[in-house]
Amino acid sequence: MSTVRVTPWSEEDFPAPPADLLAGMQGRRPNGELIGIDRVLLRSAPLATGWNGLLGRVRAEFVLDLELRELIMLRVAALNGADFEWGVHYPAYLDAGGTDEKSEALKQSEIAELFNEKEHALLTLTDQSTRQVRVDAAVVENLKDLFGEQQTVEAVATVAAYNMVSRFLVALAI
């Protein structure tokens, strides 16, 4: 029995979501199969539309390296106890070049020494933004030095977007 706090959308439900929305969501998933969060989002077509657009761009269009984005996503999932998010992004992190050792280290409260300078900077951003919302100016300046302004903005947006994701997942027990 599912513990999800709202009834996920199913193909038998009426009204059906707009066909282009459904196709867009399926297009972002392996084999076109909707996952739990998709089916809950489809309870609100406006939400699902915006969510699919934003998260699709974060996952596929940012210049910031995918492995680094997935690193951020896993850290957010670990900090917020979002098991579903972890389960989705763990294999994606490995596929993007991440390691089991680093993914396990992301579950620890402190940032391990095995991360390189760029990863450490991103994890510091992620920890500060997720735990306290406010990010020290020196952290942002360090990111700008390491990545430039575009990738710094994309890193901050990735942290913010996946905090939104984890909070949605945890609140609705997805």
Q: Is residue 2 a part of any domain in this protein?
A: no
pLDDT in the model for residue 14: 85
The C-alpha angle with vertex 26 and arms to 25 and 29, in degrees rounded to 5, equals 100
pLDDT in the model for residue 56: 93
Nearest to 71 by CA among 98, 45, 52: 98
Spacing of C-alpha 17 from chain mean position: 24
Q: Which amino acid belongs to residue 70?
A: E
Based on the domain organization, do 126 and 108 belong to the same domain? yes
Q: Is residue 27 a part of any domain in this protein?
A: yes
pLDDT in the model for residue 1: 42
Would you mind telling me the total number of residues written for the chain in this entry? Answer: 174
User: What CATH number is attached to the domain comprising 100?
Assistant: 1.20.1290.10
Q: Is residue 7 a part of any domain in this protein?
A: no
Structural domain count, the chain: 2
pLDDT in the model for residue 15: 87
pLDDT in the model for residue 2: 61
H-helix or E-strand spanning residue 38: helix 36-41
Based on the domain organization, do 125 and 55 belong to the same domain? no
pLDDT in the model for residue 129: 98
Instruction: Judge contact between 76 and 86, C-beta under 8 A.
Output: no
pLDDT averaged over consecutive 10-residue blocks of the chain (174 residues)? 86 92 93 95 97 95 98 98 97 98 97 96 98 98 98 98 98 97
Structural domain range at position 54? 19-60
Please provide residue 94's backbone torsions phi and psi, each rounded to the nearest 5 degrees: -65, -45
Distance CA 2, CA 43 (A): 17
Instruction: Judge contact between 68 and 151, C-beta under 8 A.
Output: no
Q: Which of 27, 44, 60 is the last residue of a domain?
A: 60
Q: Considering the entire predicted model, what is its pTM?
A: 0.94
Nearest to 125 by CA among 141, 113, 114: 141
Based on the domain organization, do 87 and 50 belong to the same domain? no
Based on the domain organization, do 79 and 144 belong to the same domain? yes
CB atoms within 10 A of CB 30: 7
Based on the domain organization, do 85 and 104 belong to the same domain? yes
